[in-house]
């Protein structure tokens, strides 16, 4: 028997021994959680969500945010600048501007939600019908949407308001009709892509009803991008509703509403800048917050497909 050297024995033992695997400590619960990542990497998104939550809270519970009456003013407190007593100052009738902005949130938010709801419901129905049925139905509906897109939305809204009359409900309907084409084109494109997938074709060959295919496959898979567009439309609807109310198509005075508050302070720009600047700043911050949330939704892989 031949003698084996000590070095050869050591080499054989090393080759037969599995490599040592270093154990790494498990990541902490906070660093691995979705909330922790958002707090660290996207603080702007948290601020945007808090802004929208504050707007919704003001619309639902305005009396919890201010003790002043938005309608009745104080004769001795006219045109006071912002301060500790009146955060946004007072108007020419001595009414607290912060209270009017808070109570006007309900008017504006109701109109915005109704406008986006009208545009999304009607537009998605048109897009679903055009994309799923196809043929001449698709051609007719899409040509109508092209005509709607060729006209500026503000002109469409003004024409509808002149036909329906003034008021926040009519403003919301007019703004919603102006956004139908965008929802219709988006939903149609998603339905066309989903309709040609293998699982939808397999469901058709299996004899599953058209209604069940729409409810189980088409609509749920096309809903993500529509939600993103609806969030984006919130910002546009806020601007449109405020602009139409600024032009005088909104509720009659003294009912507070954001666009009307901006219009009411334009005669006092040189002496009381806060009457226009502060309600306009509230509108701007709300629109930016809605756009930031929509950007975050669009960045998610589940929706951005």
Domain-embedded: residue 264: yes
Domain-embedded: residue 78: no
More confident residue, 131 or 305: 131
pLDDT of 39 reads 61
CA distance 282 to 275: 12
Domain-embedded: residue 2: no
Domain-embedded: residue 113: yes
Domain-embedded: residue 11: no
Peptide bond into 247 cis (omega under 30): no
The predicted-structure confidence for 91-117, as pLDDT tens digits, reads as follows: 988 899 999 999 999 999 999 999 999
Domain-embedded: residue 83: no
Please give the tally of structural domains in the chain. Answer: 1
Q: What is the largest CA-CA distance in the chain?
A: 117
The predicted-structure confidence for 200-242, as pLDDT tens digits, reads as follows: 777 777 777 777 777 777 888 888 888 888 888 898 999 999 9
pLDDT of 110 reads 93
Identify the band that residue 38 occupies on the pLDDT scale cut at 50, 70 and 90: low
Q: In terms of C-beta distances under 8 Å and separation of at least 24 residues, what long-range contacts does 219-225 make, across chains too? A: 219/128, 221/190, 221/194, 222/128, 222/187, 222/190, 222/191, 222/194, 224/302, 224/303, 224/304, 224/305, 225/186, 225/190, 225/303, 225/304, 225/305
Domain containing residue 226: 58-68+88-299
Domain-embedded: residue 285: yes
Q: What is the CATH number of the domain that holds 257?
A: 1.10.3720.10
Domain-embedded: residue 9: no
Q: Highest-confidence range of 19-28, 251-260, 284-293, by mean pLDDT?
A: 284-293
């Amino acid at each position: 028997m031949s003698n084996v050297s000590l070095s050869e024995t050591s080499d054989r033992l090393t080759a037969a021994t599995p490599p040592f695997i270093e154990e790494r400590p498990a990541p902490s619960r906070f660093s691995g959680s979705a909330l922790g990542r958002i707090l660290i990497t996207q603080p702007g998104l948290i601020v945007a969500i808090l802004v929208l939550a504050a707007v919704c809270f003001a619309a639902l519970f305005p009396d919890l945010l201010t003790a002043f009456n938005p309608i009745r003013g104080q004769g001795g407190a006219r045109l006071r600048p912002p301060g500790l007593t009146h955060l946004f100052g007072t108007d020419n009738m001595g009414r607290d501007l912060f209270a009017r902005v808070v109570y006007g949130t309900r008017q504006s938010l109701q109109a915005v939600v109704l406008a986006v709801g009208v545009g999304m419901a009607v537009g998605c129905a048109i897009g679903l019908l055009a994309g799923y049925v196809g043929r001449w139905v698709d051609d007719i509906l899409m040509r109508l949407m092209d005509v709607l897109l060729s006209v500026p939305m503000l002109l469409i809204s003004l024409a509808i308001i002149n036909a329906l009359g003034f008021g926040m409900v009519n403003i919301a309907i007019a703004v919603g009709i102006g956004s139908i084409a965008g929802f219709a084109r988006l939903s149609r494109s998603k339905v066309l892509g989903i309709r040609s997938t293998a699982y939808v074709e397999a469901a058709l060959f299996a004899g599953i009803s058209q209604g069940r295919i729409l409810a189980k496959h088409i609509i749920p898979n096309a809903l993500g991008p529509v939600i993103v567009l609806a969030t984006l439309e919130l910002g546009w609807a806020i601007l449109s509703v405020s602009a139409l109310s600024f032009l005088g198509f909104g509720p009659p005075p003294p009912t507070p509403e954001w666009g009307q508050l901006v219009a009411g302070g334009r005669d006092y720009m040189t002496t009381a800048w806060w009457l226009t600047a502060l309600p306009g700043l509230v509108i701007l911050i709300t629109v930016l917050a809605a756009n930031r949330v929509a950007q975050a939704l669009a960045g998610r892989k589940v929706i951005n497909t």
